[in-house]
């Protein structure tokens, strides 16, 4: 069937200005990190993207290495664009990143001009696009001068291959330097994409205040702490969960009885707010308007719909915030 977007798709979504730019992002953006690769069911990913757009989610976040296998999420997204969204490109914000390993040899990862420009060309080819809206450097490179990496970002904007640029996983001082270099080049840093959740609050130690001072947006990834802040782990570690498998982000040994008890207490508070734990976790990330957009993932349409409903209640009382802090004492950076 021919896809026809919901005509009321913009009526309930919240759109926040990204820093001091002219760009607005939906309060919730859809990440294609999982569930959209070559080993996943294509039609499921297609249904998720269609439903997201129907709900007013205009921003779709990718990276060169998303899959598995690497590159396949961009390939599948390109197919979906051609099949369903050919007439709606100008209503979409499409982002991609480069920084992790993509091909053999000395030019296949990190932050050199050679790698970044080549990777973006490959990403555009996989998605069938002339440009992306946002191109990120995915992680700092300890060996390449930051000036070279930022000059590469500036270069792709001036080439017309990206409208804006961003960085991800940068620390506070590295971010300050990146902002200064890009400003001098004439290509402002639009946005920073850090990990942020109730279990991982590192950005509150200087990064959010820096971004606000500099007029740079912030989009948070893993707001649900890789699923820990959902009902998945209320009774321990399910056999089919990410934590039951080898993972660099969430491991079984991290999910102690103490952690489960904290999650259970948070869930009680969420129920008192008439929210699921996932909805409360998303609302918490967006609570102070320091985060422009919350980057969510989903494996089912029902999960996506549940997450969007979080926007119906973004307010927290001071008592609720104090309860959350008391529950989570000592839990910082657990699910980095």
C-alpha distances (whole Å) from 113 to each of 33, 144, 171, 172 are 24, 9, 21, 23
Burial class (CB in 10 A: 0-12, 13-18, 19+), 237: middle
Q: Residue 111 and residue 93: Cα distance in Å, rounded? A: 23
What's the pLDDT tens digit per position in 64-121?
999 999 999 999 999 999 999 999 999 999 999 999 999 999 999 999 999 999 999 9
CA distance 311 to 327: 23
**Residues 152, 117: Cα–Cα separation, whole Å:** 7
CATH class for the region spanning 15-193: alpha beta
Euclidean distance between CA atoms 302 and 296, whole angstroms:
13
The pLDDT value recorded for residue 137 is 98
Q: What is the 3-state secondary structure (H, E, C) of 33-62?
A: CCCCCCCCCHHHHHHHHHHHHHCCCCEEEC
Give residue-wise pLDDT tens across range 22-59.
999 999 999 999 999 999 999 999 999 999 999 999 99
Per-residue pLDDT of the chain (336 residues; tens, 9 = 90+): 799 999 999 999 999 999 999 999 999 999 999 999 999 999 999 999 999 999 999 999 999 999 999 999 999 999 999 999 999 999 999 999 999 999 999 999 999 999 999 999 999 999 999 999 999 999 999 999 999 999 999 999 999 999 999 999 999 999 999 999 999 999 999 999 999 999 999 999 999 999 999 999 999 999 999 899 999 888 776 655 555 444 445 666 678 889 999 999 999 999 999 999 999 999 999 999 999 999 999 999 999 999 999 999 999 999 999 999 999 986 554 444
- The owner of tokens 């990206």 is 162
């Amino acid at each position: 069937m021919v896809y026809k977007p919901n005509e009321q798709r913009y009526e309930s979504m919240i759109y926040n200005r990204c820093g001091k730019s002219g760009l607005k992002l939906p309060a919730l953006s859809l990440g294609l990190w999982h569930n959209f690769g070559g080993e996943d069911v294509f039609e499921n990913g297609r249904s998720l993207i269609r439903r997201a757009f129907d709900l007013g989610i205009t921003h779709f976040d990718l990276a060169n290495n998303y899959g598995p296998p690497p590159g396949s999420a961009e390939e599948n997204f390109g197919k979906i664009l051609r099949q369903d969204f050919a007439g709606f490109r100008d209503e979409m914000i499409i982002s991609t990143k480069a920084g992790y390993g993509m091909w053999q040899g000395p030019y296949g990862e990190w932050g050199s001009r050679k790698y970044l420009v080549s990777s973006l060309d490959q990403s555009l080819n996989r998605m069938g696009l002339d440009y992306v809206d946002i191109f990120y450097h995915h992680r700092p490179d300890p060996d390449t001068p930051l000036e070279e990496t930022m000059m590469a970002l500036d270069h792709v904007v001036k080439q017309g291959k990206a409208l804006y640029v961003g960085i991800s996983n940068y620390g506070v001082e590295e971010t300050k330097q990146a902002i200064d270099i890009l400003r001098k080049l004439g290509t402002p840093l639009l946005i920073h994409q850090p990990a942020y959740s109730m279990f991982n609050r590192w950005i509150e130690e200087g990064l959010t205040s820096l971004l606000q001072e500099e007029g740079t947006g912030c989009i948070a990834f893993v707001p649900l702490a890789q699923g820990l802040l959902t009902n998945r782990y209320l009774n321990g570690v399910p056999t089919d969960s990410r934590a039951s498998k080898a993972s660099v982000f969430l491991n079984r040994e991290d999910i102690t009885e103490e952690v489960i008890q904290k999650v259970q207490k948070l869930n009680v508070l969420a129920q008192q707010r008439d929210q699921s734990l996932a909805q409360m976790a998303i609302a918490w990330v967006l609570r102070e308007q320091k985060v422009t957009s919350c980057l969510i993932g989903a494996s089912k349409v029902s999960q996506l719909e549940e997450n969007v409903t979080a926007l119906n209640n973004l307010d927290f009382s001071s008592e609720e915030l104090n309860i959350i802090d008391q529950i989570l004492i000592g839990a910082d950076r657990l699910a980095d």
